[in-house]
Amino acid sequence: MSKRDYYEVLGVDKSASDSDIKGAYRKKAMKYHPDRNPGDKEAEEKFKEVSEAYEILSDEQKRSQYDQFGHEGVNGNGGYSGFGGGGFDDIFSDIFDMFGGGGFSSSGRRNGPQMGPNLKVNIHLSFEEAVFGVEKDIKINRNEECSKCNGKGAQDESDIHTCDKCNGTGQVRVNQRTPFGVMQSVRTCDKCHGEGKTISKPCSNCSGKGTEKRTRKIHLNIPAGVDNGSILPLRGEGELGTNGGSRGDLLVYISVDSHPFFTRENNDIFSEIPITFIQATLGDEIEIPSLDEKKKAIGRVKFTIPEGTQPNKIFRLKGKGVSNPNGYGKGDQYVQIKIEVPTDLNEEQKDILRKFGEVTGSDATKETKGFWDKIKDYFS
């Protein structure tokens, strides 16, 4: 069975803010939580459904991919990973608190390995670079392990000590009296701040943080077919994780220049081609701008104008559009004919046109004849 739209699952519209999405999820999760609906398989499935919807829509990158490509945009590419994924700590803490705690603590989850924050960078591409793909080098500033202490945060290894308050666990147990009796919870150690260790002599270079800001050059291989507003994720190129967690991602936001004679809609391109009255009447073979993938540039192709081509006629050149960046075929090129009416004619040219008008009379075209027939019928 096909999945429901994630916005529909949470009961919000596509313009909903992060706080709206979070609030909607809390209400749904409370309603369908298994502890509130023991043995109810339907409630259990709905709980999983709203949890999946929240995991996608609460993540900026995943939400953007979902908005562009639907469920296919997140399947197998960082999509729903069940209840083990991050981003649910505060909400699950609320839910478990509602049922008495049971020793659950979101801080315990936070003291484990945490993925580093994502970084964002904006790059500007020309129309040709976006259409044909391009390789670029960019520079970003991000946290790296301290070059002096190698991330330890201390002047020397001997300056690192196991925290004597939590015995190196990073957590302390706290007893709390509630209307249901004494409940025990686990909290982050306030002495070592969850690190499980203390430092007597911090590193003079990083002041004990273990990291320092450095500039790093990143090589980008931008695929052909990216469009204005596309987001290119680079896995593991974001900020450092904590407690042994992996790096975050680098999100490359792409903006694209307009083009002098092409406009683009998805993978199709559109252009207007001016021709003369004579070319439209008698037909002609001309060269028009088109995409040349081999040369990765704007080239030319031969185009035949049929006899009697009418103004604003649109011709389709199949497969002459932009390649889909995900490898799903190519778009088309659409050519709209614009017929230029001659101006500043000399007397000889005007006489030729007058003679042409006398020869053709009102039978010049079917459309003209049909129009005057309608006028005649209307006034008769």
Enumerate the known binding-site residues for Zn(2+).
146, 149, 163, 166, 189, 192, 203, 206
* Alpha helix stretches (DSSP H) within 257-361: 277-282, 347-360
Tokens coding 257: 């220049």
Residues in the chain: 380
Question: How many Å apart are CA 234 and CA 237, to the nearest integer?
Answer: 6
**C-alpha–C-alpha distance, residues 26 and 65, integer Å:** 23
**Dihedral sign of CA atoms 360, 364, 368, 369 in order:** positive
- Interacting residues of 355 by C-beta distance below 8 A, sequence separation 6+: none
Q: Which residues are annotated as a binding site?
A: 146, 149, 163, 166, 189, 192, 203, 206
Beta strands in 223-326 (DSSP E): 231-234, 250-256, 263-265, 268-276, 284-292, 297-305, 314-317
Q: What are phi and psi of 91, to 5 degrees?
A: -70, -45
Buried residues in 232-243 as b, exposed as e (16+ CB within 10 A): bbbeebbbbbbe
Q: How many CB atoms lie within 10 A of CB 295?
A: 9
DSSP SS3 for 292: strand
DSSP calls for 118-170: PEEEEEEE-HHHHHH-EEEEEEEEEEEE-TTTTT--BSSGGGEEE-TTTTTSS
Q: What whole-number distance in Å separates Cα of residue 266 and Cα of residue 287?
A: 25
